Amino acid sequence: MHAIEQTADAENVTLPAVLDLAAAQALQATLRRCLAGGRACNIDASKVENLLLPGMQVILAALQSSERIAVVDPSAAFCTAFDDAALSWQRVGNAKPATAPIVAESSARSAPEPCNDEPAAVAAAAVAVPVDDAGETGAEPRPKRILTIDDSKTMRDMLRFTLVDAGYDVLQAVDGQDGLDVLSRERVDVVITDINMPKLDGYGVIRHLRADAGYDDTPILVLSTESDQKTKDIGRDAGATGWLVKPFDPAQLVEIVRQVSP
């Protein structure tokens, strides 16, 4: 394939044949170094034979965050991986992140309007860093704190990559019970939970938190491979604020978090 969005006088990074978690972490470090040094970067994807979820998330987050990142000569396997996940790796300059379907609405909690399940295009504009107001004390604003609950280390890492890059403070839990243990010690602004987990599933987490007066209005987003209406209805009845389907679009995720916790 021919070069796409290639940037002249930029550092060239050739992706390996298998873009797994380790390769994705190395790519992210390289991209951060290039941007910190004021340099553009061309990602040569011509040799990619197997693109795993971690690599997809890093590439999407990079393209969404800076116009100085470009993809060059994507292989057929590279393009197919994104097509199979119903995601687009190509930057759409006039697009804006779409909101996720909201499955729980009430006057007690703020939620964006529901929309369809069309995959969101990757936005070119950088996402603003969300922070708390400084308040009357004049203290430095702190980043919003998010707890992610997922039994997949890969998914926890991808959530951390995306949310930390957007300016959030991220706590992690490996299952539902671990999530409740974390919340017994720490206060958070948003909870993002998987559904199918050992010890305690996501529904149990949501029901437990909604029964606690301290968390009755805390935004709880479900991030799951489940996408049928029955499971969404269960989530809505339990008290979920919103529902997103894996693999997630980084721009969409950050936009939803900003909407439920401005």
- Do both 115 and 189 map to the same domain? yes
Decide which of 84, 104, 126 is a domain's last residue. 84
- Do both 144 and 199 map to the same domain? yes
Q: Span 19-26, mean pLDDT?
A: 83
Q: Which has more pLDDT, 12 or 10?
A: 12
Q: Which has more pLDDT, 24 or 5?
A: 24
Residue 119 belongs to some domain of the structure: yes
pTM over 0.75: no
Tens digits of residue pLDDT in 180-194: 999 999 999 999 999
DSSP E strand stretches across the chain? 11-14, 18-19, 41-44, 50-51, 69-72, 145-149, 169-173, 190-193, 220-224, 242-245
Tens digits of residue pLDDT in 85-141: 767 777 544 333 333 444 443 323 333 333 333 333 222 222 223 333 444 445 567
Assign residue 67 the CATH number of its domain: 3.30.750.24
- Do both 99 and 161 map to the same domain? yes
Residue 3 belongs to some domain of the structure: no
Beta-bridged to residue 148, according to DSSP, are 172, 192
The confidence score (pLDDT) of residue 223 equals 94
- Do both 191 and 138 map to the same domain? yes
Residue 1 belongs to some domain of the structure: no
Decide which of 84, 113, 142 is a domain's last residue. 84
Average pLDDT of the chain to the nearest whole number: 77
Query: For residue 33, what are the domain limits?
Result: 11-84
Domain count for the chain: 2
- Do both 115 and 240 map to the same domain? yes
- Do both 40 and 109 map to the same domain? no
Tens digits of residue pLDDT in 160-209: 888 988 899 999 999 999 999 999 999 999 999 999 999 999 999 999 99
Report the relative pairing of strands 190-193 and 220-224 from DSSP bridges: parallel
